[in-house]
Structure 1
Amino acid sequence: MAEDAGRTIEALMRAGAEGATALDAPGGTPLSFGALRALMRRIVQDLNAHGVGRGDRVAIVLDNGPAMAAAFIAIAAGATSAPLNPTYRAEEFEFYLTDLKARVLVTAEGSTSPAIAVAEKLGVPVVRLRETPEHGAGSFTLRFPAPAAPAAQGGPAEPGDVALVLHTSGTTSRPKIVPLTQCNVCASARNIRTALAFGPQDRGLNIMPLFHIHGLIAGILAPLSAGGSVACTPGFNALKFFAWMDEVGPTWYTAVPTMHQAILARAGRNREIIARHPLRFLRSSSSSMPPQVLRELEAVFDAPLIEAYGMTEAAHQMASNPLPPRARKAGSVGLAAGPDIQVVDEAGNPLPAGETGEIVIRGDNVMAGYENNPKANAEAFTPQGYFRTGDQGVMDEEGYLAITGRLKEIINRGGEKISPREVDEILMDHPSVAQVVTFAVPHDKLGEEVGAAVVLRDGQHVDDKELRAFVAERAAAFKVPSRIMILDEIPKGATGKLQRIGLARKLGLA
């Protein structure tokens, strides 16, 4: 496929052969690329006929699965997809639907989501999606509540149109709107496709939520843009993962580290399935993968684990470890994979290899700016036009990037700066520890001190005193957690990520 042809989602989806499978689902009937393209044309025409055209925001509240994947693609082909987490409460839907200025809400026929009552209160028309799985996984029709004047700007979207609108996670402030153009999302899909050498023979098993940039771009758009297929599950379920793997026969999957760890815990009793369906690679992104877990996953699956670095403002991927035979470096998120990446000092000057600073990026996958937020944009971009990621990192002589922490997450203990990841990696070396997250705990004299939450491996018993002594043997005294909580499960965000900011409050330590 010519690279210049892939600057809109409609053009990106021309890659697959007419009869080749595009979308599938465990227990489902495959949807061909020809059928997906026909669905896209029909949905754009339906939207246009009911007043929804280029640039209009379509809020999507659907459960994970092939219909969510197809709805995202088909709507974004001619309007702006705005997927929302279906588990939000009414007040959250009210904030997001208002903030987005949603033109319509698309939700499943028969759904009782609180989003429906909120949309009706706000005067946002509710469009019902009816799945037609007999025509292929992801196939659907839309039922509009009332006639409307045709859209002012109809037809397929153009490269500069906004394809996808998401909000930042807003852990420390009001969520900001991230508008990603057709060009942004297609550039990111192309970068991922190139990094992972996707082709028509590849078959993904998507377990990522499809209201999240990781699932939408890496899980769906990138493989489809190479003519590969994706089997869409109802969402992550560690108990069903290996049954799905046996049925679907994937060549790869992508996940966040907590999902990989849950899969790893059940991998031992599913070795026959793993042997029957050898993976070309596993991919991990959205938060740091402990090197110990990476090594275990590679050993169990007998496949490389490709750790990548992404964020919403960059339409997901920024850096990626390369495929074999090139080197993968545990603890590194790899090489620049599309955008230009620099590590800079506080004044924005590039730092030499080996020196720690802020990671900044620039490229055609990076948003032009947050919507209606001049203050955030003034802070988010350097005078040279680079986007400040808010991550602290270091680049080695070969260009491999390692993230040392979020600048907001660095713990300041009486002036001593501590990277939570450093403490994570020490605790992960303890043979009894399965999962750990280190975080700041407020302290009346020091400002902050170090806390950690730990999940133990099955059948292991160890107390916080022993774990603190273990860290004390390997780190300076000021880095040793003052408190280690041993939990059955660490609270996670909506996308399965462990979140350091606010964890002390969630655990009753603040």
Structure 2
Amino acid sequence: MMHQQGIGAWMAKRRLKSPDKIALVHDESTVTYRQLADGADRISALLRHHGVGKGDAVAYLGENSPEFLRVMFGAAQLGAVFVPVNTRLAPPEIAHVLTDCAARVLIHDPEFAERVAGAVDTAGTAHVIVTGDGTADRPGLARLAAATTAEPIDGQVNPDDPAAIVYTSGTTGRAKGAVLTHRNLTWVALNCIVDYDVVSTDVALMISPLFHVASLGMGALPVLLKGATIVLEKGFEPGRALAQIERHGVTMLSGVPTTYQLMADHPAWAGTDLSTLAKLTCGGSAVPVRVLNAYEARGLSFSQGYGMTEASPGATALPPAMTRAKQGSVGLPHFFTDVRIADSDGAPVPAGTIGEIEIAGPNVFPGYHGLPAETAAAFTEDGWFRSGDLGYLDDDGYLYIAGRLKDMIISGGENIYPPEIERLLNELDGVTGAAVIGVPDARWGEVPWAVLTVREGVAVDTERVREFLDGKIARYKLPKHVVVVDDLPRTASGKVRKADLRSRFEAIDQ
């Protein structure tokens, strides 16, 4: 009897059911399910050789590649916890992730060596392995794994054991590790299979980074569970993406509005054969009408949705057939997920009434790593996750987003939390007050602006602020524009009224 009841069992079962089916296409080469499973076995053996056991954290900092998935499944087979690290993080942010999860092993692409050096020292990570072949005196993951004897590993893994920790910034500005269990990742994959009709003959183009929980939980995992094929791209370039769709007969594509806009604006758009495309999903923010029009002119429509890391991340999906009829909605709850709206006292409200969005289901995480108080505050007494977002349900049960309690900024699909930036801005000499807001941007949806008050006689401009922040936070979080004002609008309790600032600056011609 198998003791492995988590996602670590998936590849062994795929090796039995579809060994010669192509699982991955990457850099013009292919990986079958047998090869992917064999590779995961070797990674498991290698990690075990390095002392990794159940519950130990294995961090991975790298671009999309077969190694990313081999390490994830290899760690899962041992009952270890996979920690994908955002490749855009600055060294202090990487150090926080490694320290917080107590990573026993860090596996990273060679190009990040300089960035992780200090972070590893700070965190005290025991083992650091570079992907690829490595050097003569420091063999890389590929050589180490090839020299390792793969042995079947049937670890004692239960559905409610942690499978991954995905870091997401919070209102405190400190990145929190959302613990996602094997059950969470299994059920979010099942939600996608049901609601997006994933089939084994699908070919999914993966252009978004796998360290994002949406790409992993709602992109890669349902496709691999179903035994379909992923065309795995290291990054996104619109012309190449269009070429890959035509070349490989891609049927599925996921992205953010900016992704789809750049593809539609590319010179190759009109001449590319898109006839195989059948399933387009878009998250991050609503698809602009002009982008909808461009794709509908080619016979294509979108599934849009809403979610967050804590829901692994899917909560709702809007079927393509309802894109126009329910324009502005993020859809219905996923098949195995429930959504409700509650007032400030936690009581459910009737349709059409704005309140806090609450989510329940087997895809909802159990809590934040090492943060019991924050975990308790994130759930209602009857176990629903409090999203911190505002919305309402219409009479048909479709969800509409009304605003964000946390003032989160979504820029090109990346979540930016103002308190993290504000905390640093307040350390800049001469700054007496700081507020970061999201301002609409034609390309990225929103971009962060910093609104500052400064001491008399102090000169602070955009260049100085960006230079001060560069290296402390990821570059996509750097304010695009800095405005110095005499006073920040505040409530009686002293909190900055960000709605006032947004209404003041969002109409400015950029």
- SS of match in other structure, 2:41: helix
CA distance in 1, matches of 2:121, 2:322: 56
Following superposition, the deviation at residue 347 of structure 1 comes to 1.2
Instruction: Tell me by how many angstroms 1:156 deviates.
Output: 6.0
Alignment CA distance shift 1:384-1:109 (3 Å): same
Q: Give the CA deviation at 1:109.
A: 5.5
Aligned mates of 1:317, 1:75 — CA distance in 2: 24
Letter in 1 for 2:318: N
**Contact between 1:217 and 1:315, CA under 8 Å: does it hold in 2?**
yes
For residue 115 of structure 1, what is the aligned residue in structure 2? 116
Structure 2 CA distance for partners of 1:317 and 1:294, relative to 1, 3 Å: farther
Distance 2:48 2:180 in 1: 21
Amino acid at match of 2:261: Q
**What do the CA deviations read for 1:455-499 (whole angstroms, capped 9, x no partner)?**
xxxxxxxxxxxxxxxxxxxxxxxxx64553444xxxxxxxxxxxx
State which drifts further: 224-233 or 162-171: 162-171
**How many aligned residue pairs are there?**
424
8 A contact 1:321–1:332 mirrored in 2: yes
- Judged with a 3 Å threshold, the aligned counterparts in structure 2 of structure 1 residues 482 and 90 are, in CA distance, closer, same or farther, namely closer
What SS class does the counterpart of residue 23 from structure 1 fall into?
strand
Q: Does residue 22 in structure 1 map to residue 23 in structure 2?
A: yes
1:444 maps to which residue? 488
Helix, strand or coil at the partner of 2:169: coil
Distance of aligned partners of 1:123 and 1:373 in 2 relative to their CA distance in 1, 3 Å threshold: closer
Q: Quick check: 1:408 aligned with 2:409?
A: no
| CA displacement at 1:115 relative to structure 2 | 1.1
Q: Please list the CA deviations of residues 372-415 of structure 1 after superposition, one character each: whole Å capped at 9, or x if unmatched.
A: 2222123211111100011111111111111112112299xxxx
Aligned pairs for 1:125-144 (under 5 A) are 125-131=126-132, 141=142, 143=144
Give the corresponding residue for 2:343: 345
Which residue is equivalent to 1:86?
Answer: 87
In structure 2, what is the equivalent of residue 387 of structure 1?
385
Residue 271 in structure 1 maps to residue 294 in structure 2: no
Distance apart, 1:448 and its partner CA:
4.0
Do residues 332 (structure 1) and 329 (structure 2) align? yes
State how far apart, in whole Å, the 1-side matches of 2:273 and 2:178 are.
38
Contact residue 19 and residue 34 of structure 2 kept, 8 A: yes
Offset of residue 19 of structure 1: 0.8
Report if aligned partners of 1:314, 1:365 keep a CA contact under 8 Å in 2: yes
Report the alpha carbon displacement of residue 10 of structure 1 after superposing the two structures with TM.
Answer: 2.6
CA contact (8 A) 1:357 1:392 kept: yes
Of all paired residues, the percent bearing the same amino acid is 30
Letter in 1 for 2:359: I
Per-residue CA distance 1:3-35 (angstroms, 9 max, x = gap): x9995213344356111111112x422111122
1:302 to 299, 303, 328: 299
| 1:10 and 1:156 in contact (8 A); partners too | no
Partner of 2:198: 198
Amino acid at match of 1:307: Q
Q: Confirm or deny: 8 A CA contact 2:107 2:131 kept in the other structure.
A: no
Q: Report the secondary structure of 1:353's partner residue.
A: coil
Distance 1:436 1:305 in 2: 17
User: Which residue pairs with 1:48 in the alignment?
Assistant: 48
Look up the match of 1:370: 368
Do structure 1's residue 284 and structure 2's residue 282 form an aligned pair? yes
Q: 1:327 to 1:259 in 2, by over 3 A?
A: closer
Q: Deviation per CA, 1:317-343, whole angstroms, max 9, x where unpaired?
A: 111123549986321111110211101
Question: Aligned AA for 1:184?
Answer: N
Distance in 2 separating the partners of 1:326 and 1:483 = 27
The answer to whether residue 96 in structure 2 is matched with residue 73 in structure 1 is no
One-letter amino acid of the structure 2 residue matched with residue 28 of structure 1: E
Q: Structure 2 CA distance, aligned partners of 1:6 and 1:335? A: 33
CA gap 1:83/1:348 in 2 versus in 1, 3 angstroms:
same
Distance 1:220 1:449, change over 3 A: closer
Q: TM-score, normalising length from structure 1? A: 0.75
Secondary structure (helix, strand or coil) at the match of 1:240 reads helix
Instruction: Give the alignment's Cα RMSD to 1 decimal.
Output: 3.3
Q: Secondary structure at the match of 1:77?
A: helix
In structure 2, the CA distance between the partners of 1:6 and 1:226, relative to structure 1 (3 Å rule), is: farther
Separation in structure 1 between the aligned mates of residue 156 and residue 333 of structure 2, nearest angstrom: 32
> SS where residue 44 of structure 1 aligns?
helix
Report the equivalent of 2:356: 358
Structure 2 SS opposite 1:143: helix
Letter in 2 for 1:23: L
Query: In 2, distance between residues paired with 1:170 and 1:239?
Result: 35
* CA offset digits 1:341-360 (Å, max 9, x no partner): 10111111111111111100
8 Å CA contact retained: 2:303, 2:323: no
Distance 1:439 1:293 in 2: 23
AA aligned to 1:155 is G
Distance of 1:228 and 1:108 partners within structure 2: 27
Relative distance call for 1:76 and 1:257 in structure 2 (3 A) is farther
Matched, 1:314 2:337: no
5+ residue gaps in structure 2? 134-139, 410-436, 453-486, 491-496
2:337–2:362 CA contact under 8 A, matched in 1: yes
> For the structure 1 residues 33 and 483, does the alpha-carbon distance in structure 2 shift closer, same or farther, using more than 3 Å as the test?
closer
Deviation at 1:107, TM superposition (A): 1.9
AA at the equivalent of 1:347? D
- Assess, with a 3 A threshold, how the Cα gap between structure 1 residues 35 and 383 changes in structure 2: closer, same or farther: same
Alignment-mate amino acid for residue 273 of structure 1: T
Rounded to whole Å, the distance in 2 between the matches of 1:439 and 1:82 is 27
Query: Whole-Å Cα distance in 2 between the matches of residues 351 and 88 of structure 1?
Result: 40
Q: Hey, what's the Cα distance between the residues in 2 that align with 1:46 and 1:6?
A: 19
CA distance in 1, matches of 2:162, 2:224: 20
- The answer (yes or no) to whether the contact 1:294–1:305 under 8 Å persists in 2 is no
Do structure 1's residue 58 and structure 2's residue 55 form an aligned pair?
Answer: no
For residue 161 of structure 1, report the CA deviation from its aligned partner: 1.8
- CA offset at residue 120 of structure 1? 4.4
Maintained 8 Å contact 1:5/1:12: no
**1:209 and 1:215 in contact (8 A); partners too:** yes
Q: What's the offset of the Cα at 1:197?
A: 0.9
CA contact (8 A) 1:184 1:364 kept: yes
The within-5 A match list for 1:204-219 is 204-219=204-219
Distance 1:393 1:299, change over 3 A: same
> Offset of 1:83 from its aligned partner?
1.0
Aligned partners of 2:172 and 2:291: how far apart in 1?
30
> What is the alpha-carbon distance in structure 2 between the residues aligned to residue 158 and residue 278 of structure 1?
39
Tell me the CA shift for residue 363 of structure 1.
1.0
* Structure-2 change in CA distance of 1:449 and 1:316 (3 Å): closer
Question: 1:233: how far off?
Answer: 0.5
Q: Aligned partner of 1:288: which letter?
A: S
The change in CA–CA distance for 1:54 and 1:169 in structure 2 (over 3 A counts) is same
Q: Which amino acid aligns with 2:181?
A: T
Rounded to whole Å, the distance in 1 between the matches of 2:293 and 2:353 is 30
Secondary structure, counterpart of 1:376 in structure 2: helix
SS of the equivalent of 2:269 reads helix
